[in-house]
Structure 1
Amino acid sequence: MSNKEENESAEVYQTESRVDQPVAPAAAPKKRGCLGHLKRFWWAYLLVLICIVVLVVCLVIFVGVPKIAQQKVNDAKLEIQGVNVINTKPDSITLQINSTITTDGSIKANIDGFDGVMYLEDLPGQTPFLNISFPKTNGDKHQLVNISQDITIGDHDAFNTFNIWFAANETLNVTVYGRTKVKPSGLSTKFGVTFKKTINMKGLNLFNGTTVDGGKINISPKKGQPNFKATADIPNASYFTLDIGNATFTNFIDNTNIGNLTIPNLLLVPGSNKVPITANLDQISVLQAVQSAKYCKTGIIPVKLRGSAVVKDGQTLQYFLDGLSANNETVPMDIGSIIKNSLGTTISCPKSS
């Protein structure tokens, strides 16, 4: 055999030997090494766990709890049973509010008293017309919230505007707004929340439904005395009691001024208000109107009234005057019956009618 063949045979043998040689298995993981690492650095893992727990607790307390508290305040229902506006003066009033707050009672908490504002929700700009202090409350299911405080009128224009809206509208939306703090039971931290409630309340609706009964005409009154007296029944659909004072109205028949009517010491309460009224009327203009073809058949004339003065203790209450003078109130008056009962004369229509 030649040297070349011997070398090739040796290479084949070596290659086959390398292929057939068994491969050693991979080394098994060292479990003891992990346990040893854990035993050695257990304090580091504990610190990480504590940090995670603290972070979660902080997130719950400082993020979750305030959101829950705000949601509970949002869900609370504010209802007003009565409002008294008394001791009325040009620059101040005494405001008394009887109200209730209803919650689901699921969270026990104390709510701090706070200074809030009231404004017309539907008026652009939402300028506050009154500032009011609210007492401390809590998270009970049902609680009474009664307020009585003397309030200085800070923004006369805004308060006058409120009275105009209140006198003219059947309903209006008034928002109560303020910032306060809530302290849930079991926690030492107080959380800031916003108190905002919009209340749909009834207004005076221009005293719609007012009637006049028992009218008496005096054709020859003494100097300085009224020539007309009657009793008016003025409805107040709202839950407001208003200490208005002496209210004077200018009266019109078909845009003709027929004189002034006065309601003395008017204290308007919810429901029916039967009050004495006196007037100095242009009797000739009234007689001509009731004899006209337009009114002679029924004798009933729609008399328009517009506030011209509101005086209490010798001072003008501009906010009430603005409310009563911004719009006309129309009151149907049976002038024909009043003339018949007072003078014994029946008004008939002209023959040409």
Structure 2
Amino acid sequence: MGKRSVDDRPAYLSSDDAKYSLGVNRGPLPTGGDENSKLEQVDSAGGVSLATTHRTRRQRMARHWKRFWCCYLIGNIIFLAIFLPIFFLVVLPAVSQLVVNKSDLVLVNASVMQPRPDSILLTLESALDLKLALPVRIDPITLDLFNRDTGVDNSFANITIEGKTIKGNTTLGVQHQFTPLMNVSSWTSYVHNVVFQKETALSVHGSTNSYLGKIKSRVTMDKDIVSPTLDSFNGFSISDSTLLLSANGSSSTNLIGNATLPNPSILTIEIGSIILDIYSGDLVIGNATLNGLTLKPGNNTSPIQGFLDLKKIVANLGAVIKSQAAALKSGNLALKTITRSVVWNGTEVPYYTQVMHQLPLIAEVSLISVLKNTLHHLLHPDGSSGSGGGIGNLTSIISNLNLTSAVNQAKTNLNLTDRHSVSAALKRNVHLLDVFKDEHPVKRDALIDSMAKLYVGA
């Protein structure tokens, strides 16, 4: 490599300062065909190439792991130390709680028996569907029963359900558990909802441990169990009403019949004996009693016995007819009953009394039916059917009232299909004559003839 002549240098390299420039004495660069270019191809001793080697991805990862495995190990330990507590203490309980929250709880059986002022005998069974294929075991759980609008702090009772394994649709609950009433006011509100509403909710709240295999988590059940209720006894009726004109005294029974109280719910409720006041409009005209009443699902028919103050009705006949005007247009009597008290086993049940007193029960009774049953009893006081039919299911009640000795003589040679024969028999009946004792004989006979005509034609 020779030096280039001064003349070949560029002008800017000819100055005195150019000698300090890098590469000023470098000769011309070799061209591609120059032999000097072959110097770039250098072989190392032993025949090993010094060129860069291209590794596969797997080789690079293996080399990386060998260099940094300790860092990865420490990182995983730190990650698991953070993640596992979060999973077992936060995520898993949250998932378990979500499953409980989305589960269905349906009331399948319930009964309230032996109602005392401060306790009841409770049966409560509900079907729980967790919508989970795996079986879940739960510890015993105590559930507070309360009204949602007043909160769990005002729960009226609690029940304890034994531990159980839940898989699919499972029934949970208690049977015939003695249950003290912790808050009578809240219980009274719940009874009010059951009696007046078409459906109501029983709210439950409680916590327990659940186990998915060996994994334990804490869950809380806070649900509203909605079910049909009594709907103000919609459809209440009184049938087979009969006046027993042979009764004497203000405390005697002179009214009998059958009261039907519908129960569209699945609840069985033991009420006890209900003492009712009978109203015509705003006028109290008598009283009635339903003894030993227990409401079961469906229609409940119970004998009703009472006293109708006929003298008071006659004395206030104008007011009575005015209050009955609408019902009389359809040939009925509208009897309104309001609960005076509810008694179970000789003790008044205050929450039933309070709620039932707020619910007037109105039944429209056929006037013709009452008249026919009443006259039939006058003609057959022993409860026998005679040739004109009878009142069947009232026979035992009439017999228990010892009314069989009243007018047996009136039945002799009596033709119940002949108006004159029936009228003559009624005019000889001392009890009927006593009812009309203050009326003029002509008016009395006219009324009896009209009654006989209605009876035969009914």
Name the TM tier (shorter chain).
Answer: 0.7 to 0.9
Q: CA deviation at 1:13?
A: 3.3
Structure 2 counterparts to residues 41-120 of structure 1, below 5 A: 42-43=69-70, 45-120=72-147
- In structure 2, the CA distance between the partners of 1:10 and 1:97, relative to structure 1 (3 Å rule), is same
1:193 to 216, 219, 223: 219
- In structure 2, the CA distance between the partners of 1:19 and 1:111, relative to structure 1 (3 Å rule), is farther
- In structure 2, the CA distance between the partners of 1:20 and 1:177, relative to structure 1 (3 Å rule), is farther
C-alpha RMSD of the superposition: 3.1
Structure 2 counterparts to residues 151-230 of structure 1, below 5 A: 151-187=179-215, 190-223=216-249, 224-230=251-257
Point out which structure has higher relative CO (alpha carbons under 8 A, 6+ apart).
1
Structure with a larger share of its residues in helix: 2
Q: CA deviation at 1:319?
A: 1.5
Measured against aligned partners, the alpha-carbon deviations of 1:270-295 in whole angstroms (never above 9, x if no partner) come to: 11111100011222455633696444
Residue in 2 that maps onto 1:322: 354
Residue in 2 that maps onto 1:331: 363
Structure 2 gap ranges (5+): 1-12, 30-51, 53-61, 377-447, 454-458
Looking at structure 2, the residues matched to 99 and 254 of structure 1 have their Cα atoms a distance apart, in angstroms, of 44
**Normalized against structure 2, the TM-score is what?**
0.65
Asked if the contact 1:298/1:336 (under 8 Å) is kept, the reply is: no
Residue in 1 that maps onto 2:410: none
Give SS of 1:17's match.
coil
Residue in 1 that maps onto 2:404: none
Residue in 1 that maps onto 2:20: 14
Structure 1 gap ranges (5+): 1-6, 23-27, 29-34, 349-353
Asked if the contact 1:164/1:326 (under 8 Å) is kept, the reply is: no
Measured against aligned partners, the alpha-carbon deviations of 1:287-328 in whole angstroms (never above 9, x if no partner) come to: 633696444343312222221111112111112112211221
- In structure 2, the CA distance between the partners of 1:118 and 1:306, relative to structure 1 (3 Å rule), is same
Measured against aligned partners, the alpha-carbon deviations of 1:19-76 in whole angstroms (never above 9, x if no partner) come to: 9699xxxxx9xxxxxx999768754542321221343233222222111100111121
Looking at structure 2, the residues matched to 19 and 38 of structure 1 have their Cα atoms a distance apart, in angstroms, of 50
Asked if the contact 1:290/1:335 (under 8 Å) is kept, the reply is: no
Q: Percent identity?
A: 23
Give SS of 2:328's match.
coil
Give SS of 1:220's match.
coil
- In structure 2, the CA distance between the partners of 1:15 and 1:161, relative to structure 1 (3 Å rule), is same
- In structure 2, the CA distance between the partners of 1:20 and 1:84, relative to structure 1 (3 Å rule), is farther
Residue in 2 that maps onto 1:351: none
Question: If you compute each CA radius of gyration, which structure gives the higher value, 1 or 2?
Answer: 2
